[in-house]
Amino acid sequence: MRLTRLELSGFKSFAGTVELPFEAGVTAIVGPNGCGKSNISDAVRWVLGEQSPRLLRGGKMEDVIFQGSTGRRPVNVTEVSLVFDNSDGTLPLAYQEVLVTRRLSRSGQSEYLLNRSPVRLRDIQDLLRGTGLGADAAVVMEARMIEALLSEKAEERRALFEEAAGIGLYRDRKKSTERRLEETAADLARLDDLIGEVQTQVRSLARQRGKAERYGKMIEERFGVALTLVRRELEDFEIALGRLGQRAAELAASLPAERARLADAEREREARVQARHSAEARRTEEERRLGDAKLEVGRLEGDLALAAERLRNAGQRRATAELHREQEEARAAQAERERIAATAECAAAERDLATVQRELEGRSTLEQESRDRLQAQRTAVRELEEDLQRRAEASRALDGERAALERERGELGQQLAQASGERAARAEAEWAAAAQVTARAREAAAQAQAAAQAAEGLERTRRRVAELKEQETHDRPAQRQTEEALAQVTARRDALAELERQRVGLAPGAQALLRDKAQFGDVVLGPLSDFVRTDRRDAQLAEQLLGEWLHAVLVRDDAAVEAVRQWHERTRPGPLVLLPCAPGPRRTADGHPLADELRVDGPAAAWVRALLAGHEVLDGGRALRRANGAVFLTGAAAGGPLERRAELEALAQELGEAETRRAAATTRLEGTLGALTAAEAEFAAAGAAAERARAQQLEAGALKGDAERAAAHTQREAADATAQVERLSARLAEVEARLATVRAELERHEVERVRLDERLGAERARLVELEAQQEAAREQRVRWQVETAQGEAHLAAARARAERAAADAAEARRQGASLADEMATIDRELAAQTAQQGEWTDALQERRLALGALDTAAREAGAGVEEADARLAEAEAALEEPRKGLDVLGAEEHKLEVERTEILGRKRGLVERVEAEWRKPLDQLLAAAPEVPGDIEWLRQEDDRLRTAIDAVGPVNALAVEEHGEETKRLEFLMTQRDDLVTARQSLQQAAREIDQTAKGMFLESFGKVRDHFRTVFQTLFGGGECDVRLANEDEPLESEIEIHAAPRGKRTQRIHLLSSGERTLVAVSLLFAIFLTKPSPFCLLDEVDAPLDDANVGRYVRLLAEFKDQTQFIVITHNPRTMQAADAVYGVTMQEPGVSTIVGVRLGQMEPV
């Protein structure tokens, strides 16, 4: 595969479409600075996928589009294409020619094309990977890469080696893996926190479920009391509304008569208001007419004063105009005299100017003839000087070439002697290297066996860790299940204990007596249910047998019964049954159906036997026969106090068993975790041992490879030494022959230079004589030019004076006529103003007579208004009495309406509050609520007590059961996710280790190849010497600094920064070629790499290109003539049009335009 052409369109300074065809060998691109040569290397970088505008010498990617010039407009799209010959099938495409294109528009749209079909950048990179043109290939070598190799910054030098090794992909993968490891660790930490929160939530929900059950029972009891209270309050509201309606009807009957009286009085008042308005309107009209008359009189007086002032001003203006007209007539006569004099002066100036211009034309003709002769002589002298300069430059070039040939002859003699000595030393080194290869091979085999054993140990520990992790996965859910069971039992026990403490389910009367137990002392012993015990199996049967007797309260004797009865009369808490222990029941019994199952404490035993005597259990407890013979069929019933107490005892036993199970599960889990920790430590140790064995194996392999390469190197060096002796001998003969030719050419150039110097002296003397003649003619021409300019200035001044005089005369005449017209206008204005003044004086006398009559009429209208005001005040007094009576009735009616609205609002507020609290319409609530006996005051107290008890319970989660189930499932899901994350973390850690090992192996292998190529290229460029590249820390090759050592022939080995500037540049070029040869590509572009090299080193650089051009195409951007001479084709880049680059090409072998 090879590059056949490069196509550019609108890229940087290439405004139009440019095509550069390439053949095998070396192609040079030349041109002056700033003409656009480096834009070609930027185009190659860009089309191969470069994404950094900085590396393309731009601020943003759109800078690569042609920006326009003085003669061309900017373009909107740029496109660059590389065309490859794929006839050998290197690229996996069924095309003989492959076209890779990149296109970019100013809108930011970018696309890649493969044979004109759109593809992704990833597709291009995948296609070129392995051909030496991939993303990490050093296709373009430029001066900044030399600076990177010579830089003291280790990361810049290292980047070139990593590109050659192709480990950029692995480094990116390692960073990605490490980032994913960090994210996995963070996710695992967050998941552990979340699992802890969910476990706490599960335990909390178990407690909330018991609390919700207790809350439901109290809500049901309060529902009946609250709705009964509401029903009573609504009845009271209806009674109050009836009373208010009756009083409102009485008020409505008396209001019409009062309103009729008020209407009559208001009609009388309205008539007198209209009369007063009429009088007020008449007075207003008279006052307006009086004011208008006064304004008219004032206006006429002001007009008369203004007319007198205008007459005075008109007289003054006429006198001024008469004076100005006389002045303008005098000025016009003076201007006419000046115009006549200026016209005569213009005629004289025109005659003088014609004479001077004729003389100036003659002098100009003589000067032009002298200038033509002088220009011809200067051209002849310049041609002679240029010819002499070319001869001198050719002589200097021959002198330089002679000196270079003499130096090279001396160096070749020294090199020939050294090469002969090195040939014997290389033969001895070859034998030593073969022995070292054998020893290194034995060491590598031993290290490979040790690495295999370490890998087997690592696999055993990995299986052990996996088994323990699986066991941990089983033990951890078992522990969670025991904790959840313990939390459920504890919550159930706490809920039942709270119900037992609050005696939920006990009759209201018994609850009230127990709350007031302190005022009776110790005579009230407690409810019968507190003295009876049984197990969970028989608790329901015992409650069905005892029934309502369980709500009875045991007291000490009959005196206690009397005290409680008096308390019951006062408080009326509801029905209450008392069981006095003395004297006890009136009849005794010997046995009952649950004699063996019930445990009765203290004084309650006698009452229990009496109450259960004669009862019989039928059909295993599904039916009961009472002592009176009645049969009671049992059914499902809510748990009572006996069942609740029996369940509490059973839950206490279950709680102990759950604690035991949880402790056992915790012990098992801790044992598993301890074993897992030990196994993981063993696994880490085994991994470290395997890693060390692998590193030792790689190191032994690297040493073996080094030894093999050293042996091959010594063989090549021996052959190179022999070839070097032959090359040096041949070159020495060539230098001697060329030296003789150069000396002969130098003698011929010296004879020609002397002849040209004599001819040049004679021509320069003739040139001085002609310059003197031309200067004299120029002085005469300048003197007459001055005379001509003075005449033209005199003529222009005379003409200007004549024109000004004529203009002044015309202006004076025009001003005189204008002033005459103004005087006539003023006379007409004076006559008109005098007539108008007489008319205004007569009108003023008439207005003053009418003003007195209007003043008398205005005073009479004011007296009529005062009389109308007095009659209106009498009507207002008569209206006040019926208005006050109507206001009293209205106020009482408003008060009744307010009271009715208040009652309705309270009723509505009560309904809304009840509906909002119970979340149902009031009709449905009243229909569903049972009627609770008792007066309204007791109902309010009971409602307050139940509300306080409910508030004391606090917030209740009604969905605790469903939420508990959901949270349990969520906890199980989170634990599964945690196990998956742990497994993923272990996989990522293993992947990171494998990536590191692979990258290290690739880097060491590539580094060894670069070292070998570096030594070979260094020998070619320096003609001998020693060089090496080393890792400062061989244990960490991926992080170690890279040191460059070089010893040109005859010098000791030293670091590169101790060499001269030219030597360092040549060493850097050697290393760049070595890196390129490690991963060769079909072509290589060298951007002014030879700029820092002298002539001798450029010759070595050229020989290096010639050595490798059969393997790779070289595109060289250069200013050096010797590099141009070595090229097979040359392209010149020029800017014939400012800002636009163009291409000119030549095949040097054929000398034909390309």
Residue 1151's pLDDT is what? 38
**What number of H helices and E strands is found in the chain?**
16, 24
Find all residues with CB under 8 Å of 935, minimum gap 6, and list them: 572
Q: Is the pLDDT of residue 139 over 80?
A: no
pLDDT for the residue 1150: 43
H-run or E-run covering 320: helix 168-502
Q: What is the residue-averaged pLDDT of the chain?
A: 77
Does position 97 have pLDDT exceeding 80, yes or no? yes
When mean pLDDT is compared across 653-667, 866-880, 892-906, the lowest value belongs to 866-880
Percent of the chain with pLDDT strictly greater than 70 = 86
Question: What is the CATH T-level fold of the domain 2-139+1081-1153, as seen in this structure?
Answer: Rossmann fold (3.40.50)
Whether pLDDT at 1153 is above 50: no
Euclidean distance between CA atoms 847 and 859, whole angstroms: 20
Share of the chain above pLDDT 90, in %: 2
Q: Express each pLDDT in 201-259 by its tens digit.
A: 877 877 777 777 777 777 877 788 888 888 888 888 788 888 877 877 777 777 777 77
pLDDT reported for residue 617: 63
Q: Is the pLDDT of residue 1154 over 60?
A: no
Tokens 């509401």 map to which residue? 230
User: What number is the average pLDDT over the span 828-855?
Assistant: 74
Distance from C-alpha of 506 to C-alpha of 527, rounded to nearest angstrom: 9
Instruction: Specify whether the CB–CB gap between 487 and 202 falls below 8 A.
Output: yes
pLDDT of amino acid 1084: 84
CA distances from 385 to 389, 392, 396, 689, 1036 (A): 6, 10, 16, 84, 68
> DSSP strand E in 332-458: where?
none
Of the given ranges (306-310, 621-625, 750-754), which has the lowest mean pLDDT?
A: 621-625
User: What pLDDT shows up at residue 1152?
Assistant: 39
Asked whether the beta carbons of 1147 and 21 are under 8 A apart, the reply is no
Asked whether the predicted pLDDT for residue 697 surpasses 50, the reply is yes
| Closest CA relative to residue 1028, chosen from 993, 1054, 1063, 1066 | 1054
Q: Is the pLDDT of residue 1142 over 80?
A: yes
Query: What pLDDT shows up at residue 504?
Result: 67
> Is the predicted pLDDT of residue 736 greater than 70, yes or no?
yes
User: Which has more confidence, 647 or 1006?
Assistant: 1006
Mean pLDDT confidence for 131-141 = 65
Residue 475's alpha-carbon distances to 259, 511, 732, 1114, in angstroms, are 96, 50, 88, 69
**How far from chain centre, in Å, is Cα 353?**
83
Q: How confident is the model at residue 412 (pLDDT cuts 50, 70, 90)?
A: confident
Q: Which of 266 and 1087 is assigned the larger pLDDT?
A: 1087
What is the pLDDT at residue 640? 64
> Residue 108 region, left (φ>0) first, then alpha (ψ -120 to 50), else beta?
left
Tell me which of 645 and 1088 has the higher pLDDT.
Answer: 1088
- What pLDDT score does 763 carry? 77
What is the distance between the alpha carbons of residues 309 and 1084, in angstroms, rounded to a whole number?
106
Indicate if the pLDDT at residue 984 is higher than 80.
Answer: yes
| Region 326-330 average pLDDT | 75
pLDDT-derived band of residue 545, with 50, 70 and 90 as boundaries? low
Among 337, 437, 268, smallest CA distance to 805 is for: 337
- 536-541 contacts at long range (C-beta below 8 A, 24 or more positions apart): 536/643, 536/646, 536/647, 536/649, 536/650, 538/594, 538/597, 538/598, 538/646, 539/639, 539/640, 539/642, 539/643, 539/645, 539/646, 539/647, 540/621, 540/637, 540/639, 540/643, 541/594, 541/617, 541/621
In 3D space, the residue among 645, 610, 651 whose CA is nearest the CA of residue 540 turns out to be 645
**Lowest-pLDDT range, 59-73, 413-427, 919-933?**
413-427
> Looking at the predicted structure, is the pLDDT value of residue 499 above 90?
no
Q: Is 620 left (phi over 0), alpha (psi -120 to 50) or beta?
A: left
pLDDT of residue 446: 79
Q: Report residue 637's pLDDT band, with 50, 70 and 90 as the boundaries.
A: very low
Encode pLDDT of 281-308 as tens digits.
Answer: 877 887 777 777 777 777 777 777 777 7
Q: Where are the domains of the chain?
A: 2-139+1081-1153
Which H or E run contains 215? helix 168-502
Residue 101 above 90 pLDDT? yes
C-alpha 786/C-alpha 802 separation (Å) is: 25
pLDDT in tens, 782-826: 777 767 777 777 777 777 777 887 777 788 778 777 877 777 777
Q: Which residues contact 657 (CB under 8 A, 6 or more apart)?
A: none
What does the buried/exposed string (b/e) look like for 249-263 if buried means 16 or more CB atoms within 10 Å of the residue's CB?
A: eeeeeeeeebeeebe
Residue 100 pLDDT: 92
Q: Which residues pair with 1031 in a beta bridge?
A: 1042
If we measure between CA atoms, which residue out of 82, 186, 12, 55 comes closest to residue 1115?
82
- Cβ atoms of 158 and 1103 closer than 8 Å: no
Cα of first residue to Cα of last residue in the chain, in angstroms, is 22
pLDDT at 124 over 80: yes
